[in-house]
Amino acid sequence: MAALFVGLMSGTSLDGADAALVDFSSASPRTLAFATVPFPRELREQILALSEPGRDHLELAGTVCLRLADLYARAVEGAIAAGGVPRRSVRAIGCHGQTVRHRPDLGFTIQLNDPARLAEATGIDVVADFRRRDMAAGGQGAPLVPAFHEKVFRHPSRSRAVVNIGGISNVTWLPVAARTLGFDCGPGNVLLDEWARKHLGAEFDEDGRWASEGRTDAPLLARLLEEPFLAWPPPKSTGRELFRLQWLEDRLPREYRAADVQSTLTDFTARAIVGAIDRFCEGTDEIYLAGGGARNPRLVERIEILAGGRKVAPTDVLGVPTSHVESMAFAWLAMKCVRREAVDLTAVTGAREPRILGAIYAA
């Protein structure tokens, strides 16, 4: 059976679609090539409109699905071309889609996608709709990547926490003598990016430079840390439904400096991450970071301070670049689906039993 799969991921940071061409022929997955296609501004704004509660438009959602499928196809083509492999050697594409609503409390989750169109455009089978089977089995539907983290990052004598800092941050705990635990722990880039977009007119605060110009507002930080979600025990997952600009603005003082708020948000994000590890992942020896937030030196610096003497490093040192982790994970999930192998997320999402995740759209 072919061992090459393409994993696609576009997350809540809304920066673009990542495609990883992954070889699963040996014990350790290996990325052969990686490609990114940025979201055009109009598409990003359309997705943001659909992510805002109370602003649903079915026709807009349908249009976005088509545009996403075409953009995903470009990312797949880029990865295959960069990898220099024949198209027929790729067994399947794992495509998560773009989350615009995640409500495990109501029993549903929505990822915009058109996997049939993607299969038609690429001539390759597509595996999609991973979250809903987990939710049907009583799970939260997210996070899904801890099962992949367990496969590639577990160590026999060191307890590790792997943190993906996308729009939302999630933690995978890989203890030496216990089962893997995974959960969303709070905001990653989402609040930082929204505040930068509002006050700088930029998509993000590059390298955290603007945050470094401000001073953390201690009373505001305390108010942000009162958010009940942070203390909820796993399994738990969240999204823009909770952590969005309105959530922040409801907690702002009457007078503030915008750069001070950005500094405060950087501290809040770091504290949400390390606080979750301290609260739910006792005995963690090492912390490894992935996702876009792992490339924000100001955020990483504050995580390192809060981590005390524990090692903090990017997943690059473990052989997987920070920007590749999630797309590799969906290549792996596609491989598991094609091989009809169940994924055990019972200790992560709360699903009743391991399940085969995803639906296959034949080319």
Instruction: Say whether both 303 and 173 belong to one domain.
Output: yes
pLDDT in tens, 174-206: 999 899 999 999 999 999 999 999 999 999 999
Instruction: Say whether both 247 and 343 belong to one domain.
Output: no
Instruction: Say whether both 297 and 351 belong to one domain.
Output: no
* Helix, strand, or coil (residue 48): helix
Instruction: Say whether both 95 and 183 belong to one domain.
Output: no
pLDDT in tens, 101-125: 999 999 999 999 999 999 999 999 9
d(CA 344, CA 302): 33
Q: In this model, does residue 51 exceed pLDDT 90?
A: no
The pLDDT of residue 48 is 82
The pLDDT of residue 152 is 96
Instruction: Say whether both 227 and 113 belong to one domain.
Output: no
DSSP class per residue in 145-156: THHHHHHHH--S
Decide the pairing of beta strands 181-187 and 168-174. antiparallel
- Mean pLDDT value across the chain: 95
Q: Are 284 and 274 in contact (CB under 8 A)?
A: no
Q: In this model, does residue 248 exceed pLDDT 80?
A: yes
Average pLDDT over residues 262-289: 98
Average pLDDT over residues 325-344: 97
pLDDT band at residue 50 using 50, 70 and 90 as cut-offs:
confident
The pLDDT of residue 21 is 97
d(CA 10, CA 8): 7
Average pLDDT over residues 322-339: 97
Q: How many CA atoms lie within 13 A of 188 on its CB side?
A: 26
Q: In this model, does residue 3 exceed pLDDT 90?
A: no
d(CA 318, CA 12): 25
Q: How far is CA 229 from CA 51, 225, 239, 334, in A?
A: 19, 9, 11, 31
Q: In this model, does residue 53 exceed pLDDT 90?
A: no
Would you state the structure tokens that stand for residue 62, as one six-digit string?
């349908």
Instruction: Say whether both 313 and 334 belong to one domain.
Output: no
Average pLDDT over residues 319-337: 96
Percent of the chain with pLDDT over 90: 92
Would you state the structure tokens that stand for residue 99, as one six-digit string?
């989350």
The pLDDT of residue 27 is 86
d(CA 111, CA 137): 18
Which among 349, 346, 326, 282 is positioned nearest to 17, based on CA atoms?
326
Instruction: Say whether both 337 and 249 belong to one domain.
Output: no
Instruction: Say whether both 190 and 48 belong to one domain.
Output: no
Number of domains in the chain: 2
Q: Are 261 and 145 in contact (CB under 8 A)?
A: no
pLDDT band at residue 1 using 50, 70 and 90 as cut-offs:
very low
d(CA 338, CA 250): 46
Instruction: Say whether both 227 and 89 belong to one domain.
Output: no
Q: Are 291 and 164 in contact (CB under 8 A)?
A: yes
The pLDDT of residue 55 is 63
Instruction: Say whether both 51 and 102 belong to one domain.
Output: yes
d(CA 254, CA 258): 12
pLDDT in tens, 199-230: 999 999 999 999 999 999 999 999 999 999 99
DSSP class per residue in 266-313: HHHHHHHHHHHHHHHSTT--EEEEESGGGG-HHHHHHHHHHTTTSEEE
Average pLDDT over residues 7-33: 91
Q: Write the CATH number for 103.
A: 3.30.420.40
Total number of residues shown for the chain: 363
Domain that holds residue 56: 4-141+323-361
| pTM, full prediction | 0.91
Instruction: Say whether both 300 and 281 belong to one domain.
Output: yes
Instruction: Say whether both 167 and 105 belong to one domain.
Output: no
pLDDT in tens, 147-161: 999 999 999 999 999
